[in-house]
Amino acid sequence: MKELLIRIAKGLVDKPDEVRVDVDEINENGVIVYHLHVSEDDMGRVIGKQGRIAKAIRTVMRAAATRNDQKIAVEID
């Protein structure tokens, strides 16, 4: 899952070397939280107009997680 998020983010940004993903342990609700870190200059590219790209990233990640019987959340830091 982490690799999928990194691959998606690197395809969107100008500085792919600065893409980093941190993963939290499973919380009390059974949700794994992925924290996506990108360059300040690339934040707009990852979020998109009115958050549409960020929403699409979260949708793709949730779909992939359900195939693995997981619950996830993606936060863009």
CATH code at 72? 3.30.300.20
pLDDT tens readout for residues 23-76: 999 999 999 999 999 999 999 999 999 999 999 999 999 999 999 899 999 999
Residue 14 above 90 pLDDT?
Answer: yes
The domain of 23 spans 2-76
Q: In the prediction, which pLDDT does 77 show?
A: 87
Q: How far is CA 2 from the centre of its chain?
A: 8
The domain tally of the chain equals 1
Global confidence as pTM: 0.90
